[in-house]
Amino acid sequence: MANEIVANHLTSKTLYAAVFNAAGLVYRTSTGLFEAWGTSGRTAADYDIALTETAAGASMHYTGTFPVIVAAVYSVTVFDRATGTPLNSDIAIGDGEMHWDGTDEINDTTLNELLETIDSTTNRIVIDDTDGTGGTSSSGGSVAGKTHDC
């Protein structure tokens, strides 16, 4: 996929993003691994994902490609690059969450498509406990191993 990271900012800027996991570790673009910011003296230049203005110098709309990594919810911070290379001192201009399925963003459209697929093929939603968390409902009760009619 492409262009999952989106930011609106002043035109003709050089923006980049950094991706953080739930533990607060940052995605290192050269290895595809997460680490603490600054490990072994690394800087923003080791974590940056370039954003491109969609109509160079005119649109104020920037996009970038989210890395293909394990499904999870990630934090994405967008920075305005002050010099020729990303610096730890660059100013963050925005942040948000990316709900990622491993290859694409989970948004209202993809979630609705998934629910329609579940509904049309099984008419049931099965909640399992493959991650070992016990599966809890929004009210706090256990839902692991239960099925729910759609």
Q: Would the pLDDT of 150 be above 90?
A: no
Q: What values do phi and psi take at 134, rounded to 5? A: 95, -10
Question: pLDDT by residue (tens digit) across 98-146?
Answer: 999 999 898 877 776 766 666 555 666 554 545 554 444 333 444 444 4
Contacts of 141 (CB under 8 A, 6+ apart): none
The CATH code of domain 5-100 reads 2.60.40
Which residues of the chain form CATH 2.60.40? 5-100
| Section 73-95 average pLDDT | 97
Sign of the alpha-carbon torsion through 72, 69, 74, 95: negative
| Section 51-70 average pLDDT | 93
| Section 4-20 average pLDDT | 96
CB 27 within 8 A of CB 16: no
- Of 53, 117, 118, the residue nearest 81 (C-alpha): 53
Encoded tokens for 131 = 């991650």
Enter the pTM of the model.
0.74
Least confident span in 1-10, 53-62, 89-98, 105-114:
105-114
Q: Would the pLDDT of 48 be above 60?
A: yes
What is the predicted pLDDT for the residue at 56? Answer: 78
CB 23 within 8 A of CB 33: no
